[in-house]
Structure 1
Amino acid sequence: MATPDSSTALDGVQPDPDMWFEDGNVIVIAQQTAFRFHRGALSRHSEAFRGLFSVPQPTSSGSVQTMDGCPVIHVTDTAYDFRHLLRAVYDGASVFSGVEPMEFGALASIVRMGHKYQVDAILDEALRRLNTVYTSDFATWDENEGGSTALITVRVADGIEAVNLFLLVGRKDMLVAAFYMCGLLDVDHLIDGIPRADGTLERLSTYDLQRCLTAQMALVKHDARILAELLHTDAPADCTCPSKDFRRTLLDARHADVVSALHDILDPLPIHSTYGVETIDDLEAEGLCDTCGEALRAHHTALRRDLWGRLPAFFRLLE
């Protein structure tokens, strides 16, 4: 790669240090960054690009703008997004097959650009990776609790961008986890928005903010329900506690502790919370048998799984 001759560069436009091929035959300018590449490389992947390249973009004087002898096309995308598009097209194998997980911001860029320019191959692969975190399957979600996986690194702050991204591409099945993860954000961030990787501010629409806040209130109520029901189960048939009275006394005492602490422990993330698991661990440390502990864990998982199935209704995704 080489940089363009400064005498032919446009005012204020800087070449991208990575995506500037000296033998390229078209230049795309995103924001104030110029990308020089081979139009055939993108045309073979995208009908949208074939159409874009076939229509000259005249200047106000009527002439076609050129730079270093190449036609210039201006796009409204951010330089960050366009760079990731080119990297995915040119270096697809190495971009997607690296041993390190990909950052959410990079995958989000590829999804936006793959959707806009109809580059289905990279769009599908980026969504596949995102789907390992933003999933409608409880068991898949529970394995990582909405956190990073071997394929993707996510932040709590990515929730808002994820909601907007999956609405854009029509992936309602991925919206459940994205909305739920927005519950980790405080109200100020939900209202004001969060900058994405390129600095663009991502905000929820008024409607999406409304359904997110409404769902949070419903989830707090269901957190109380889970905590209330967690310790009210019959002993398993193979219980080895010293006696039924010992087991019941132990669970009742712990239930009283939970009720007295409700104002401190209730939150809008009852599926994500580890409070129930910690409570069961404490009970086992106090003498509850392993069999009862496993039965309580299974009960806790069943309560969380049931609530997971209610999330689409809470977030009005069934409308």
Structure 2
Amino acid sequence: MSSPPPQAPAERQSERQVTRSGIWYPDGSVVLQACNTQFRVHWSVLSLHSSFFHGMLGLPQPPEQPTVDGCPVIELSLDSEEDVENLLRALYDPLFFLQKALPFPIIASHLRLSRKYEFRGVLETIVERLTHENPTTLDGYDAVKTGNSYSPTRIVNYRGLIYDTITLASENNILTILPCAYYRALVGSSPSQIFDGIPRGDGTVATLSPAHQRACNLGRTALLRAQWDAGNTFGWTENQADEVNCADPTGCRHKKYAFLRRHVVRGSLAPFCSVAYVDSLSICAVCTEVIRGKMIAGRQRMWDLLPTFFELPPWSELKDEL
């Protein structure tokens, strides 16, 4: 009776499970392997966009270097096949980044791998999209609003996007977008959602880590108080004295107080509301003009302080680690 054939080594079993992706160029000169998926591409394309792969190009290959069809195999053992495929499809499509809005998974893949493997052009493009949606200046913030509402234009929107953006930015040290993203999380979701998360459309839940939950809740409390302080957005409500040349002292004083009382009771958080809101107060032209000027200065002061409300460094010290 013959003995059973010897068991194949573990690495041979693993090799038999390897599959080729749809990105497989017959004239490619290098094979990238992520998990058990291989991608045959060109050294020239990788080295053109990535200083990491450019530096590898001239290095001698070790004798034990695995090959496929004569191409060296570079194992990207810590990267997902989805991330690698998303990046490669963009590198081989010259029109890819001309799309107005990209899905968030594409943004995430590109950010992770472009930082890791030094695809500088891709990294700058992705960070620019994230910064466009979560700007570092008040003018930038105002530019992407429609009235007081906002919907992203360069990233495909879905429920939970802002939470996923915060997580992605924090994990990749893109810190300059966090102040605006935290603020968007506060005004775009309820306090309970900060703790429990927001259901996405695919049945999963976008959540914030305890550290981000803490930042949001401390920020909410600090912003609610600060927006009413003298010199800030609604600081003009602190002093109910009549403005010089006010055309209706009693009426304007009453309307200012009514505004203060109504929004304090409601817990309204709106330090960056449109200055045009002053027109709805129905106060005299003199008071309207004075308050408008105070709100313009107050909104800017609140924006200048925004990172500190979330216990982040001031804007001047807040940097991205690219």
TM-score by length of 1: 0.70
User: 1:102·1:153 contact (CA, 8 Å) conserved in 2?
Assistant: yes
Structure 1 residue 115 corresponds to structure 2 residue 115: yes
Identical-pair percentage: 27
How has the CA–CA distance of structure 1 residues 290 and 214 changed in structure 2, closer, same or farther, with 3 Å as cutoff? Answer: same
Give the whole-Å Cα distance in 1 for the aligned partners of 2:206 and 2:31: 28
Question: Deviation string for 1:54-105 (max 9, x for gaps)?
Answer: 58699xxx67263x554433322223322232233222x412234x233444
In the alignment, what sits opposite 2:7? none
Are 2:29 and 2:41, in contact at CA under 8 Å, matched by a contact in 1? yes
Residue equivalent to 1:307: 302
Does structure 2 conserve the Cα–Cα contact (< 8 Å) formed by 1:270 and 1:304? Answer: no
Give the letter for the 1:77 counterpart: D
Partner residue in 2 for 1:44: 48
Matched residue of 1:102: which SS? coil
Unaligned runs of 5+ in 1: 1-8
State which of 222, 230, 245 in structure 1 corresponds to 2:250.
245
Read off the aligned partner of 1:88 and give its amino acid letter. Answer: A
Alignment of 1:258-273 (within 5 A): 258-259=263-264, 262=265, 265-266=266-267, 269-271=269-271
Check conservation: 1:57, 1:64, Cα contact below 8 A. Answer: no
Residues 1:318 and 1:311: Cα distance change in structure 2 (over 3 Å): same
Equivalent residues of 2:233, 2:271 under 8 A apart:
no
State the distance in 1 between where 2:165 and 2:157 align: 10
8 Å contact from structure 1 (residues 156, 185) kept in 2: no
> What secondary structure, in the 3-state scheme, does the structure 1 residue paired with 2:313 have?
coil
User: Displacement of 1:234 after TM fit?
Assistant: 6.5
Partner of 1:3: none
Distance 1:221 1:144 in 2: 26
Superposition map of 1:214-229 within 5 A = 214-223=218-227, 229=235
Alignment partner, residue 20 of structure 1: 24
Distance verdict in 2 for CA 1:30–1:222, change over 3 Å: same
Secondary structure of the residue aligned to 1:72 is strand
- Could you say which structure has the greater relative contact order, defined with CA pairs below 8 angstroms and 6 or more residues apart? 2
What residue identity is the alignment partner of 2:281?
A: L
In the alignment, the residues of structure 1 paired with residue 200 and residue 42 of structure 2 have an alpha-carbon distance, to the nearest angstrom, of 29
Q: Supply the distance in 1 between the matched residues of 2:207 and 2:52 (Cα, whole angstroms).
A: 28
2:179 counterpart of 1:176: yes
Report how many aligned residue pairs link the two structures.
292
**1:118 shift after superposition:** 0.7
Q: Once the 2 structures are TM-superposed, how far is the Cα of residue 42 of structure 1 from its aligned partner?
A: 0.3
Give yes or no for the alignment of 1:90 onto 2:92.
yes
Larger CA deviation: 118-127 vs 157-166: 157-166
Distance 1:303 1:270 in 2: 12
Change (3 A) 1:14 1:294: farther
**Per-residue Cα deviation, 1:143-164 (whole angstroms, up to 9, x for no partner):** 2249446544455633344334
Q: 1:206 to 1:13 in 2, by over 3 A?
A: same
For residue 117 of structure 1, report the CA deviation from its aligned partner.
Answer: 0.4
| Aligned counterparts of 2:27 and 2:252: Cα–Cα separation in 1 | 77
Alignment correspondent of 1:130 = 130
Q: Deviations over 1:104-145 (max 9, x none)?
A: 443333222111101112212222232222222112112224
Partner of 1:80: 82
Q: 1:233 to 1:203 in 2, by over 3 A?
A: same
2:143 maps to 1:140: no
Change (3 A) 1:140 1:156: farther
Trace 1:203-218 onto structure 2 (pairs within 5 A): 206-218=210-222
Specify whether residues 151 and 34 from structure 1 end up closer, same or farther in structure 2 by C-alpha distance, changes over 3 A only. Answer: same
Distance 2:16 2:276 in 1: 61
Q: Distance in 2 between matches of 1:196 and 1:49?
A: 36
CA RMSD of aligned residues (A): 4.2
Q: Secondary structure at the match of 1:131?
A: helix
Counterparts of 1:201 and 1:48 in 2: how far apart (Å)?
35
